[in-house]
């Protein structure tokens, strides 16, 4: 038995693995099997942080069991479903390692890629992101929308966010400390990560299909993430209303000239009448509505930020004793 005076062995993990989980009961056993094989290779100086994002299935129970079985497993449980980016944020807040790795619970991000990422980290890179060169068995709609979105974002965003990268990445402690110090509520981690800079590099991989279960990122959630990222990293949409306004001003000037021409040269033309006025009204109305809508999106976000609510509420936490 250990005497009280004996100093407690202090194991501060060198590596943290962060995995957000939302109704993934079918994946957790296999996930743990593959991730623990990797953890065994990492001299056990590793913590596995599972974040329960308000799951309604057995995910939390399974996380508790894993924690009791394996002390390297810690978990956080959010009080409701806050969304993937917030769940990852919570994980980043609690991670204690020097190299922090984020991956999905559905095994679409192969844990076997991590040694390669660690190798780059040891070479001195601060961020090693995984870049998809292929997606296996995902619908053409998802592939197409993702393709268009990443290219659009690259054109519009103020920072250079590499295309076809997700949240699967390794980040150095310095980067994570910086991300944690960013108070913004609308969190697009890939964007924040790119904004920071330092030495960043990619490792390429083929994205596997989901191991089991349904996709948790519904079309609505993906659309909202896409909008959030565009608005958080670009002011081009705001400028769009100026362009639209200028364009409509130009069109109305042309129309005025045309009408004048018809008045003078073809007094009985039908185009001078009612229809022209209606078209002009509808056109201007839509330009104004679009502009107000864009403004509204930005103002809505300002409102979210100034409210200053915490980003998430924690219901349960285990395994984060100061020294384990
Ligand atoms: N996820 C989450 N909260 C959500 C939606 C998803 O924590 O509201 C987790 C989910 O459990 C998974 C990861 O985020 O570990 C990615 O989700 P999914 O596989 O559905 O998305 P996709 O692979 O289509 O990006
Ligand atoms: Mg997935």
Quickly state the pLDDT bin for 55 (edges 50, 70, 90). very high
Question: Looking at the structure, do residues 217 and 270 belong to the same domain, yes or no?
Answer: no
Question: Looking at the structure, do residues 153 and 193 belong to the same domain, yes or no?
Answer: yes
Q: How far is the CA of 133 from the centre of ligand 1 (A)?
A: 20
Q: How far is the CA of 123 from the centre of ligand 1 (A)?
A: 31
6 located within any domain: no
Question: Of how many residues is the chain composed?
Answer: 324
Other Cβ atoms less than 10 A from the Cβ of 94: the count is: 19
pLDDT tens across 150-161, in order? 888 888 888 888
Average pLDDT value for residue range 47-75: 95
pLDDT score, position 2 = 47
Quickly state the pLDDT bin for 322 (edges 50, 70, 90). low
Judged against a pLDDT cut of 60, whether residue 4 lies above it is answered with no
Q: How far is CA 28 from CA 25, 167, 261, in A?
A: 6, 19, 73
Give every CB contact of residue 218 below 8 A, 6+ residues apart in sequence. Answer: none
Task: Report the domain count for the chain.
Answer: 2
Compute φ and ψ for 140, nearest 5 degrees. Answer: -65, -30
pLDDT score, position 172 = 96
28 located within any domain: yes
pLDDT tens across 237-261, in order? 888 877 887 888 788 788 778 777 8
Beta-carbon neighbours within 5 Å of ion ligand 2: 104, 106, 108
Q: Which of 82, 135, 205, 216 to mutate to test the pocket of ligand 1 (most atoms within 8 A of CB)?
A: 216
142: domain CATH number?
3.90.550.10
Question: Looking at the structure, do residues 85 and 57 belong to the same domain, yes or no?
Answer: yes
Quickly state the pLDDT bin for 324 (edges 50, 70, 90). very low
Question: Looking at the structure, do residues 107 and 256 belong to the same domain, yes or no?
Answer: no
pLDDT tens across 295-314, in order? 888 888 889 889 989 999 99
Name the residue range of residue 268's domain: 236-307
Mean pLDDT of the chain: 87
Q: Which atom of ligand 1 sits closest to the CA of residue 215?
A: 20
pLDDT score, position 87 = 97
40 located within any domain: yes
Sign of CA dihedral 251, 252, 256, 262: positive
Question: Looking at the structure, do residues 184 and 159 belong to the same domain, yes or no?
Answer: yes
144 located within any domain: yes
8 located within any domain: no
**Quick check: 51 and 75 in contact, CB under 8 A?**
yes
34 located within any domain: yes
Judged against a pLDDT cut of 90, whether residue 93 lies above it is answered with yes
Question: Looking at the structure, do residues 245 and 138 belong to the same domain, yes or no?
Answer: no
Compute φ and ψ for 204, nearest 5 degrees. Answer: -90, 145
187 located within any domain: yes
Judged against a pLDDT cut of 70, whether residue 272 lies above it is answered with no
Question: Looking at the structure, do residues 127 and 275 belong to the same domain, yes or no?
Answer: no
Question: Looking at the structure, do residues 249 and 215 belong to the same domain, yes or no?
Answer: no
Q: Quick one: which of 90, 92, 66, 89 has its CA closest to 77?
A: 90
Question: Looking at the structure, do residues 293 and 144 belong to the same domain, yes or no?
Answer: no
Q: Does the beta carbon of 81 lie inside 6 Å of ligand 1?
A: yes
Q: Does the beta carbon of 21 lie inside 6 Å of ligand 1?
A: yes
Q: Which atom of ligand 1 sits closest to the CA of residue 87?
A: 7
Please tell me the distance from the alpha carbon of residue 262 to that of residue 265, in angstroms, as a whole number.
Answer: 5
pTM metric for this prediction: 0.81
């Amino acid at each position: 038995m250990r005497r009280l005076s004996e100093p407690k062995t202090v194991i501060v993990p060198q590596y943290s693995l962060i995995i957000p989980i939302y109704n993934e009961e079918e994946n957790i056993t296999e996930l743990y099997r593959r991730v623990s094989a990797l953890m065994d290779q990492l001299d056990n100086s590793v913590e596995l942080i599972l974040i329960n994002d308000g799951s309604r299935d057995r995910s939390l129970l399974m996380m508790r069991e894993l924690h009791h079985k394996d002390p390297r497993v810690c978990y956080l449980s959010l009080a409701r479903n806050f969304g993937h980016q917030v769940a990852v944020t919570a994980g980043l807040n609690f991670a204690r390692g020097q190299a922090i790795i984020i991956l999905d619970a559905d095994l679409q991000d192969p844990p076997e890629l991590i040694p390669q990422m660690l190798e780059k980290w040891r070479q001195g890179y601060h961020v090693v992101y995984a870049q998809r060169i292929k997606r296996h068995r995902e619908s053409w709609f998802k592939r197409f929308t993702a393709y268009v979105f990443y290219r659009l974002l690259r054109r519009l965003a103020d920072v250079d966010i590499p295309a076809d990268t997700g949240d699967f990445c390794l980040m150095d402690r310095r980067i994570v400390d910086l991300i944690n110090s960013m108070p913004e509520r609308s969190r697009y981690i890939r964007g924040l990560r790119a904004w920071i800079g330092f030495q960043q590099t990619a490792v390429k991989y083929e994205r596997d299909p989901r191991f089991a279960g349904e996709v948790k990122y519904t079309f609505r959630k993906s659309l909202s993430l896409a909008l959030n990222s565009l608005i958080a990293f670009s002011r081009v949409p705001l400028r769009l209303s100026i362009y639209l306004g200028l364009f409509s001003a130009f069109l109305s000037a042309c129309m005025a000239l045309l009408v004048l021409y018809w008045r003078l040269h073809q007094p009985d033309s039908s185009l001078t009448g009612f229809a022209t006025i209606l078209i002009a009204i509808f056109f201007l109305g839509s330009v104004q509505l679009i502009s107000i809508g864009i403004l509204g999106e930005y103002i809505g976000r300002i409102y979210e930020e100034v409210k200053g609510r915490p980003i998430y509420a924690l219901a349960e936490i285990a395994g984060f004793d100061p020294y384990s």
